[in-house]
Amino acid sequence: MFSSAQSSGLKFSFFLFFVFTFPQVPALNSTSSIMVSNGALAYAYPMDPITVDGDSKDWPIALEKYPIATTPYGELPKKEDFEAYFQVGYNMDERALYLLVTVMDDNHVVDTSENATWITQDSYALYVDYKHKWNGSGVNLFQFGENFKRDYDYTASWDPEIKDFNWDKVTIQMSRNRNTITYEVKIDLGEHLQLNKSVGIDHVLADKDPDDEEGRFSFISWGQNGGKSQSASRLGDVIPVAKGTTISKVSGKLTWEDTTIDEFPDRVTLINKSNPKQWTVAEVDSLGNYTTMLPKGQYLAESFWEFRSGNHIDLKNSKAFFEVKPGTTNQAKDLVLKIRTPLDIIPEKGTIYDFDPKNPSELDNFIATYQEFYVIPGVSLVIIKDGKVVYHKTYGNKNSVTGKAVNNKTLFEAASITKPVFAFAVCRLAEKGIIDLDTPLYTYLPFEDIAHDERYKLITARHVLTHQTGFPNWAWENPDGKIDIKFTPGTGYGYSGEGFEYLKRVVIEITGRKVEDVVKEEVLDPFGIKNTYFTENDYMRTHVANGHYGRFASSANLPDGPGMAWSMHTEAMDFSNFALGLLERKVLNTETYEDMFKVHTVVDDDDLREGWESYFGLGVSMEKTPFGPSFGHGGNNGDFKCLFKMYSELNSGFIVFTNSNRGDYLSEGLEQYLITGKTTN
């Protein structure tokens, strides 16, 4: 299956270092957690109004201190050098939540340059999810330092309401007394400040010391998980309670109805039965136990961990009610997790042979069933039969929160399906004599970051297009974040987006043109592809779908520059022009097509079915199957997954784009439903 190995992921590395929104992507066929918060919990008590000036003298003395001491990324500073905590209270008359963040740091660094950012100095990042809705709500980010203040443009957010929650609602002042730094915060929550209603809050402190290596800094947060701007599920919970409210200890346990299962979700959600706006998340240990602190009341325990190796937890039945009484340790009723088995609706024989586009109800039901089971919000689908598009339809929502429907103009991230499109452009340039596929790329443009390894001088365009460069997929996946060569170029297979990005820079150098203009001239225009883009523009902002991790939408992180390994945005009908062009071998000459579809690289894939073999040609992924040869490519940007696959001898295939981290379940199911049937190993 093409899609499982073809992951892009470059967009993640950018946000890891610059806006702290690196998503944690659940792996295929493994345990995965989609939570509604990250397990950190604090209670806010009423307090008198204070003056927000960075001076903590007017704060109540007895407020609890909550440590800021986890490290989503990087190393935790030494305790003797750095320590931090926060306190929290509220004033209902002002409808304001107050935060006091105290940092003890022996080395407070201030960047006084005009280019100062939050990661070039010690600074504070506040994350606020003021609505904190069950089905997800947007996160506002406020960054503040001695010489820095910033929030973000939320116009591309999946939650359009958060654009109005800006610095008019948040006041931050800081003071520094020797090695003690204080950030005093007032958040005007308005109607969203309610007794016992959870508010999503988290803090991240960027710590930079004078003797740090260039580019090194530490992130210290309150709750676990990075990617806090990306999803409210990565924030902690702050719950305002009445004066004198007693918070009691609660212990509970998760068990499986199927006692052979010995792994557990890492979080459980606890909801107040009479006030569903009061909810929080508790961490679960390896034995299924959890402990938290709750006010008195009746509660519902529910797991939002939905998959285990493809099995679906039955959320309708995996629930437990219990009561919390003050002044005692409370034992919650066990939460018994029940499994819904994977879907069994694949026919014995593929349906493409008898598919009637005038009667597509069975296909539509198949798609809808997979969407419901695997929580896949939106789909764009094309079916190709006998060398023609015979069916095109869109399903579901581009955004699960707003409910906006996918339509024929909705753009999906194509992820690694970008690669064969760029590869085609390179082959066109080779036909014109502008580039030679077997000339070392360094002769066109040196690559300074890897020039210390002489083997890089062996790398050619052919090595890039066939994934034989020896590069990692992405340099940021290495422990040191630097690019290296894993094996001598040309001697093995190693899927690599870095190679495609290097070749992109070469194409820009030798043509003297923008790479998206080259692709338009060499690929999009010849095939009549019109609704496809590589860089953020007004049309993309209006029509792009939001990605999803499970039920939670993520922000539309649009590419500010073209990535030839990952950044294409398109939809199934427009992209079908390219798939059909390859099937009919249009535009390129016969010799180039023979080279493109030649077996250049054998892929050793343990997941291949018996009797199947996997290869790479020039930018296209190919398979030898019992149904004849196939070609295509998959794509995986985490919250978008997609696949196009053509069976040459059948003259048929399909294209499917999804805005879901679980879209590969649909891709795999579609191939069986349409082509192979359930009898194939």
Supply the mean pLDDT for the chain. 89
Q: At which of 340, 368, 383 does a domain end?
A: 340
Q: Are residues 473 and 398 in the same domain?
A: yes
- pLDDT for position 61: 87
Q: In this structure, what is the dihedral angle of CA atoms 119, 124, 125, 131, given to the nearest 10 degrees?
A: 180
Q: Are residues 520 and 663 in the same domain?
A: yes
Q: Are residues 596 and 453 in the same domain?
A: yes
Within a domain: 436: yes
Q: Cα(421)–Cα(446) distance, rounded to whole angstroms?
A: 24
Which amino acid appears at position 244 of this protein?
G
Instruction: Average the pLDDT over each of 50-64, 223-237, 308-322, 455-469 and give the range with the smallest value.
Output: 308-322
Name the nearest CA neighbour of 362 among 346, 342, 379: 346
Instruction: Average the pLDDT over each of 31-45, 316-330, 419-433, 450-464 and give the range with the smallest value.
Output: 31-45
pLDDT tens, position by position, 428-460: 999 999 999 999 999 999 999 999 999 999 999
407 neighbors 399 (Cβ within 8 angstroms): no
Q: In this structure, what is the dihedral angle of CA atoms 662, 371, 356, 620, given to the nearest 10 degrees?
A: -10
Q: Cα(324)–Cα(300) distance, rounded to whole angstroms?
A: 11
Q: Structure tokens of 648?
A: 């040459």
Q: What's the pLDDT band for 212 if we cut at 50, 70, 90?
A: low
Within a domain: 231: yes
Q: Are residues 287 and 349 in the same domain?
A: no
Q: Are residues 262 and 390 in the same domain?
A: no
Q: Are residues 317 and 437 in the same domain?
A: no
Q: Are residues 647 and 544 in the same domain?
A: yes
Task: Give residue 274's domain range.
Answer: 250-340
Within a domain: 11: no
Q: Cα(80)–Cα(105) distance, rounded to whole angstroms?
A: 9
Q: Are residues 560 and 492 in the same domain?
A: yes
Within a domain: 18: no
Q: How many domains does the chain have?
A: 3
pTM for the whole thing? Answer: 0.82
Within a domain: 15: no
pLDDT tens, position by position, 128-176: 999 988 667 888 999 998 888 887 767 667 787 888 899 999 999 999 9
Q: Are residues 174 and 313 in the same domain?
A: no
Within a domain: 654: yes
- pLDDT for position 113: 87
Q: Are residues 262 and 382 in the same domain?
A: no
DSSP 538: H
- pLDDT for position 13: 36
Residue 172 forms beta bridges with which residues?
A: 185
Name the nearest CA neighbour of 99 among 111, 84, 119, 110: 84
Q: Cα(284)–Cα(300) distance, rounded to whole angstroms?
A: 16
- pLDDT for position 161: 83
Radius of gyration of the chain (CA): 27
**CATH assignment of the domain containing 63:** 2.60.40.1190
pLDDT tens, position by position, 107-120: 888 888 888 887 78
